[in-house]
Amino acid sequence: MTRSNRILNRLALVLLALLALTAAAFILRPEVERFVLEPLGLVVPSLGLAEAGTVLPIALIVLAVVVVIVALAVTVTRGRGADGTALDQEGVSVDAGLLEGLLRRELDGEDEVLHLRLRAFRARGRVLLAEVQVRRGADLANVHRRVSAAVATADEQLGEALPLVTHITTGLRTRFAGSTRTH
Amino acid sequence: MNERMRSRYGRRMRHRSRSVAVSIALWIAALPLVYLAIESVLELLGAAPLWQEPLQVIETVTGTQALRFGVAAAAVVIGLVLLVLAFAPGRLGRHELADERMLVVVDDDVLAGALSRAAASTAGLQRDRASTSVGRRRADVSLRPTSGFAVSKDDVDRATERELERLAVSPSIRARSRVESAGVVGR
């Protein structure tokens, strides 16, 4: 639900993979020349690192700065998009926590639902993510029906059907809660 | 939620994000470069190197046979792992359930629990005597019956298929059950 661009992630991985493989080819340059380049009739001129003077240290500093800046930018901006506001229009703002409380109240008494957490995201429009933790061996159709009913009530009270993703999952609570019985 | 949003969020929920892998890979690439940059700054300032001057570091790595092959092998492994991460589908064990109002995504272990429940209930067994593994397109239900009491495989198959139809799972799954030949005594 975050704003991470997944295509860019893949491109970054491909780029880094190519960098790693190029570094390996540079380290194994004599073998690469003998077994790959020479049979293909390719000649790669020497990089002339020994004659590079101050160019090499400056190039290394620039490269390191660029990579560190990119690494910092990717790490810091990763997973952005979470927002505590479920609805914000015409001067009216509804907190996601309020909606979460409403859904929890509607699901109160449903033995198979252990926990509900609602988060709001802004990723090409506003979207809500409801994480519903259920008991082991829960009657999934029943859980789905109960969550749908709770969402319908919330829609009615809010006067609007907000884009919602419901994730039915398990978690630490499931591990300790035990399973539902079939008889 | 319109169809475009549903499809986009459905895909995001059912596939792994690679942002952690990208962050880790970038920092792995940054570490040796930062070290070389520090040595470069020291060289430009005319100060003593921490270990060796940048050119000497490169010569040491590319000059020593064992070190050369070791570092190159590590770089090749990292490169291949990154390529696999970039091109592998990265599917998470999740399926979607049909719903008109919202997008509903369910973890495969929850789905497996629901199928085990349906199978155990039909076979008249306790829940812990049925186990299910759910793949992308297939669910395998395994039952351990009580010794001396027959379990109808067809009934179990029908029950699990009925459960899957009721849930309208996407991508669709076919369930297959197996009744173990060795039963359990006394339960």
pLDDT of the residue at B182:
75
B173 shares its domain with B102: yes
CATH superfamily name and code, A82-177: BolA-like (3.30.300.90)
Domain span including residue B170: 94-179
Q: Write down the ipTM of this complex.
A: 0.84
Q: How far is CA B7 from CA A104, A151, B1, B13, B27, in A?
A: 27, 20, 10, 10, 33
Number of domains in chain B: 2
Tokens of B8: 């986009």
Residue among A165, A169, A174 with most chain B CBs within 10 A, to mutate: A165
Phi, psi of B106 (to 5 degrees): -125, 135
Mean pLDDT of B131-151: 91
Do you find a cis peptide bond into B171, omega within 30 degrees of 0?
yes
Cβ-defined contact of B22 to A1 (cutoff 8 Å): no
- A23-64: per-residue pLDDT in tens? 999 899 888 888 888 888 887 777 666 676 788 899 999 999
Who contacts A98 (Cβ-Cβ below 8 Å, separation ≥6)?
Answer: A86
pLDDT 10s digits, A104-158: 999 998 999 999 999 999 877 889 999 999 999 899 999 999 999 999 999 999 8
**B30 and A64 in contact by Cβ < 8 A?**
yes
- Same domain flag for B82 and B23: yes
Asked if A168 lies within 8 A of B107 by C-beta distance, the reply is yes
Q: CA B1 to CA A162: how far, in whole Å?
A: 7
**Which of B5, B85, B125 lies nearest to residue A13, judging by beta carbons?**
B85
Determine the average pLDDT of the residues in B124-134. Answer: 92
B98 and B63 within one domain: no
Mean pLDDT of A86-104: 90
pLDDT at A181 over 60: no
Least confident of A109-118, A170-179, B58-67, B140-149: A170-179
Q: Determine, yes or no, domain membership for B43.
A: yes
Mutate: best of B104, B125, B156, B164, partner A, most A CBs <10 A: B104
Residue of A nearest to B167 (CA): A141
Domain ranges in chain A with CATH number 3.30.300.90: 82-177
Angstrom CA distances, B43 to A47, A57, A58, A60, B109, stand at 20, 8, 10, 12, 57
B7 is a domain residue: no
What DSSP character marks residue A108? T
B8 found inside a domain: no
